């Protein structure tokens, strides 16, 4: 149980660990909700679900400097080192780093690593924003600016071009993804709870948007890849949005937008390490 008292002002020096197996029923539901074809191979975004409970435990503790309710996921960087089969037993580790200023408050990275039989098979950096919060004065400046038309890898997608697909994202999308992912942040669940945190309506989970975009390219991706995304304007529910993809040497650039405004901009590249 968390101790009573004020929150810490610096990140905890803590690494949380667990051993996980994949529930195939949950994997099948994740595939359905996100648009993947059913397969025993894990989508590159799926291990985030295994790490997320550890992220929540870490962020919910009083030793974590930012309050969990209202944290907004603003960027994510994944490396899948190889195909991961649903039959494998996985060791999952999570730690926090880079508690730094952001133009709208403060942000922090939750770093996850997944091993199978002692081999690193997947890792990620999930960047969260706390609006109005303050990072330590000595913290370095943020590397993640609010997204416009580029990701950290320099992807570019023309929002005026012909869309690859058009999605009608209904009002229940946040609740369905919350049920399969365990991410029940109130900003995703209902207009009333989202309004308490400054949003006019519930917003889609960034990782649902990232997974749905990745699913559109299923069958055209290597087993070992990097997938970097930045989340821009919140995707309000319901909405109609457009996916655009562009093949580049070694991968894809992609973007999800509506009315010329980016909700997600990403880059997929073959992993070489």
pLDDT digits (tens, 9 = 90+) for 76-112: 999 999 999 999 999 999 999 999 999 999 999 999 9
Indicate whether 159 belongs to any domain: yes
Indicate whether 170 belongs to any domain: yes
Average pLDDT over residues 216-227: 96
What's the whole-model pTM score? 0.89
Reply yes or no on whether the pLDDT at 42 is more than 80: yes
Q: How is residue 111 written in tokens?
A: 């770093």
DSSP reduced 3-state for 83: coil
Q: pLDDT category, 136, cuts 50, 70, 90? A: confident
Indicate whether 5 belongs to any domain: no
Q: How many CB atoms lie within 10 A of CB 132?
A: 10
Indicate whether 8 belongs to any domain: no
User: Residue 69's pLDDT is what?
Assistant: 80
Indicate whether 7 belongs to any domain: no
Indicate whether 6 belongs to any domain: no
User: Residue 250's pLDDT is what?
Assistant: 81
Domain range enclosing 148: 15-270
Query: With DSSP H G I counted as helix, E B as strand and the rest as coil, what are the percentages for the chain, rounded to 5?
Result: 20, 35, 45
Reply yes or no on whether the pLDDT at 271 is more than 80: yes
Average pLDDT over residues 29-57: 97
Helices (H), 7-159: 24-34, 47-60
Q: What are the DSSP E strand ranges found in 65-175?
A: 72-80, 90-102, 105-116, 119-131, 165-169
Q: For residue 255, what are the β-bridge partners? A: 244, 265
Reply yes or no on whether the pLDDT at 3 is more than 60: no
Closest C-alpha to 182, from 77, 26, 42, 35:
26
Closest C-alpha to 77, from 112, 31, 42, 106:
112
CATH of the domain at 108: 3.10.129.10
Number of domains in the chain: 1
Closest C-alpha to 7, from 55, 67, 57:
67
Indicate whether 4 belongs to any domain: no
Residues of 82-99 as b/e, b for ≥16 C-beta within 10 angstroms?
eebebebebbbbbbbebb
Indicate whether 245 belongs to any domain: yes
What is the phi/psi pair of residue 247, to 5°? -70, 135
Reply yes or no on whether the pLDDT at 153 is more than 50: no
Closest C-alpha to 252, from 228, 272, 232:
228
User: Residue 187's pLDDT is what?
Assistant: 87
Reply yes or no on whether the pLDDT at 198 is more than 60: yes
Average pLDDT over residues 246-259: 93
Q: Could you give the C-alpha distances from 145 to 15, 148, 152, 207, 214, in angstroms and in order?
A: 27, 9, 10, 19, 23
Q: How many CB atoms lie within 10 A of CB 256?
A: 29
Reply yes or no on whether the pLDDT at 45 is more than 50: yes
- Strand 90-102 and strand 15-20: the pairing is antiparallel
Reply yes or no on whether the pLDDT at 147 is more than 80: no
Average pLDDT over residues 154-175: 81
Q: How is residue 241 written in tokens?
A: 């949005």
Least-confidence region, from 41-50, 150-159, 248-257: 150-159
């Amino acid at each position: 149980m968390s101790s009573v008292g004020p929150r810490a002002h610096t990140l905890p020096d803590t690494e949380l660990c667990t051993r996980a197996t994949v529930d195939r029923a949950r994997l099948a539901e994740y595939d359905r909700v996100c648009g993947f074809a059913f397969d025993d191979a894990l989508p590159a975004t799926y291990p985030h679900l295994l790490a997320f409970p550890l992220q929540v435990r870490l962020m919910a503790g009083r030793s974590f400097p930012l309050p969990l309710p209202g944290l907004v996921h603003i960027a994510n960087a994944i490396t899948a080192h190889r195909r991961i089969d649903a039959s494998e037993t996985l060791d999952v580790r999570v730690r926090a780093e880079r508690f730094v200023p952001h133009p709208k408050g403060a942000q922090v990275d939750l770093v996850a690593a997944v091993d199978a039989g002692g081999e690193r098979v997947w890792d990620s950096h999930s960047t969260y924003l706390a609006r109005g919060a303050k990072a330590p004065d000595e913290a370095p400046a943020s590397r993640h600016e609010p997204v416009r038309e580029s990701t950290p890898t320099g992807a570019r997608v023309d929002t005026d071009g012909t869309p690859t697909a058009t999605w009608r994202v209904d009002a229940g999308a946040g609740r369905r993804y919350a049920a399969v992912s365990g991410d029940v942040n109130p900003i995703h669940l209902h207009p009333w709870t989202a309004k308490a945190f400054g949003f006019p309506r519930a917003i889609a989970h960034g990782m649902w948007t990232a997974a749905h975009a990745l699913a559109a390219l299923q069958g055209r991706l290597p087993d070992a890849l990097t997938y970097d995304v930045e989340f821009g304007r919140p995707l309000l529910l319901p909405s109609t949005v457009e996916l655009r993809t562009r093949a580049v040497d070694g991968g894809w650039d992609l973007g999800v937008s509506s009315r010329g405004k980016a909700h997600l901009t990403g880059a997929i590249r073959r992993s070489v390490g």
